Chains A and B, each alone.
Chain A
Amino acid sequence: MTEMQSDERGFVTGTGIESQDLVSVTDKMARSLVNTPEINDFSGMPRIVLDPVINNTRFPIQQGIFLTRIRTLLNSRTRGKMRFLARERMDALRAEREMKRTGELTSSSDPNVQEFKGADFFLTGKLDGQTTRTSAGTSDYVLYSFQLIDARTSEIIWEDFSELKKQGLEDASYR
């Protein structure tokens, strides 16, 4: 067993989406997003909801991992500049609020007031792929594109992309 950095290319590699790709792509997106004028000049705190990335490649991915890393980077490096809404936790949050409303749990504020926030922006993305395969091996190109969409107007106010191409040759004994 060898411990490696997440952005390091390992010795077990394929032509698919790997941790070093995730790190480089999300680093680039977070840096690009934080400099968006619409975010910088937003009056008040912009509230963002993550909408799952659409996977249009031939590689299965863990669906939330790209946006989770972007969110974590932005939250840890730009404290207070934006807020992300925990929409994937809504069931638990509603249940908590309901128990507070019925008096089953204590509450530090009036639980009957609607305090769940609406989104100002949706952050989402798409992975597209193109594969070429010959008898010698495989070549995979993946385009990672991410967008920030204004929830009120549906305008795409920010978009950026990253692209990676990998090729692998198979040993003759597998051909």
Chain B
Amino acid sequence: MPLHIFTLSWLMLALVAGSLSGCATPSAPYRPPWTGDALVDGQHAVSNAPPKDKVMWQMITARSALFQKNYDLAEDLLDDVLRSIENRYGKDKEARKSRKLFQDEAGKFFIGEPYERVMAYYYRGILYWMAGQPDNARACFRSAQLQDSDSEKNEFRNDYVLMDYLEGLTSLKLSASADSNYMRATNSARLAIPPPYRSSDNVLIFTDYGAGPTKYASGAYGEQLKFKEGRSSAREIKIASAHEEIHLGPYDDLTYQASTRGGRLMDHILANQAVFKSTTDAAGDAALMSGIVLAHGRNTQEVGLGLVAAGLVSKIFSAAASPDADTRDWDNLPQYLTFGTMSLPPGRHILTLRYLDAAGNEISNLTRTEYIQVNDSPKDTVLYFSDIKQQIP
């Protein structure tokens, strides 16, 4: 091939590359320095991660704070998360950019997929209840359910069992009616049906277990957001005190919730970007091949050079198109959520938590005891337990 063909080609390449230089190039995801203390690492990440990822780190760190019973920190982080979720309306420059052909979806401010937002409200609701504010807890459970209201199919909308169940129980505690809540909760139940309310019970136990779903990108160009199923060796829990034993089933399954949302509007945008990427890539290949062949002919050399240049431009546009789905996720969520109540006299008590597998056998290495202090009436004692004591971001 004559030297001037190469010269022209590289000149075109440089020009187009220059024109696309403003496009986003995915950078390596931020990782906090690992100290082994999830709260230290998480708070470092909240302060130092790119602003677009801050909410994700706040979510992760909030759950680490819950594991460590650092409820004040969890409250602060979740309050900030909820503000970000609630204030997402209106014009958002970064969100608008993330829809553009040459920008990553992950360039937008992270507020999570609906199942992640639901969990932020859910945990904040638990903390409000712990603080003796059942009406604010109810507000959070309502908002949690609302986050699940834009699933593609009707049958998967507002179908968290616990959000309805807990809205009902908080209403009963506030002397309001809860019949429709219980009915909705039982209608949504797939894995286990929650028991009828015992509104006079004074010990309210929230537990969750297993490792929740994770996101991954699928499709030829990573344009499809998919969810890898969460896992849990435990299926049910038995909690025993000296006075009674309760049996808790998995009322909500986060993998199910994550994967039944259906198509997002953003999926269509990314699919179109993937088509663009694929088409420009194929057109670039065809133009390059034809151009190189024609450039060797004495009479077709100019046409050939033009085709080579066009092919290069097309290839560069294809390479610059960025249809990757946003796979940032709240990576320490549980697989199953459950809840139960007990009636215990005020004072110190010992609870034994036994986790059972799908066959009903006890998973002995998960069994543990918790020492609790039951409040004097009328304040309820709200407890949160997880099967994982600490998670490293």
Interface, chain A (partner B; CB < 8 A): 12-16, 54-61, 63, 131, 133-135, 137-138, 168-175
Contact = CB atoms under 8 A, between A and B. Distances in A.
Contact of B139 (A58, A133, A168): A58
Given A13-B87, A14-B87, A55-B139, A171 B150 contact: no
B3 interface: no
A61 B136 contact: yes
Nearest to B113: A174
A161 B105 CA distance: 44
A12 B140 contact: no
Nearest to B128: A60
Contacts of B86: 14-16, 59
B353 to A, nearest CB: 29
B190 to A, nearest CB: 23
Contacts of B135: 54-56, 63
B142 interface: yes
Contacts of B88: 14, 168, 170-171, 174
Nearest to B150: A135
Interface in B87-129: 87-92, 95-96, 98-99, 105, 108, 111, 124, 128
B327 interface: no
B264 interface: yes
Contacts of A169: 89-90
B312 to A, nearest CB: 31
B266 interface: yes
Contacts of A133: 146, 149-150
Interface residues of B, number: 35
Interface in B142-165: 142-143, 146, 149-150
B139 A171 contact: no
Contact of B89 (A13, A55, A172): A13
Contacts of B83: 14
Given A13-B89, A172-B266, 7 more contacts: A13-B87, A14-B88, A55-B135, A58-B143, A59-B139, A60-B140, A172-B265
A168 B92 CA distance: 12
Interface string B252-279: 0000000000001110010000000000
Contact of B142 (A12, A58, A170, A171): A58
Contacts of A170: 88-89
Nearest to B140: A60
The 5 closest A-B pairs by CB, nearest first: A168-B89, A14-B86, A171-B95, A58-B142, A175-B265
B174 interface: yes
A107 B266 CA distance: 71
A173 B98 contact: yes
Nearest to A167: B89
In this complex, the member of B95, B139, B142 whose beta carbon has the largest number of chain A beta carbons within 10 angstroms is B139
Contacts of B98: 173
7 contacts: A14-B87, A54-B174, A58-B139, A133-B150, A173-B99, A174-B266, A175-B150
A174 B87 CA distance: 12
A105 B325 CA distance: 69
Given A60-B136, A63-B136, A138-B89, A173 B105 contact: yes
B89 A14 contact: yes
Contacts of A63: 133, 135-136
Contacts of A131: 142, 146
A60 B170 CA distance: 13
A64 to B, nearest CB: 11
Interface string B74-88: 000000001100111
B90 A168 contact: yes
A172 B89 CA distance: 11
Contact of A173 (B82, B91, B96, B133): B96
B95 A173 contact: yes
Nearest to B99: A173
Nearest to B97: A173
A137 B266 CA distance: 15
B220 to A, nearest CB: 21
Contacts of A173: 92, 95-96, 98-99, 105, 108, 265-266, 269
B99 A172 contact: yes
A13 B99 contact: no
A77 to B, nearest CB: 29
Contacts of A137: 89
Contacts of B105: 173
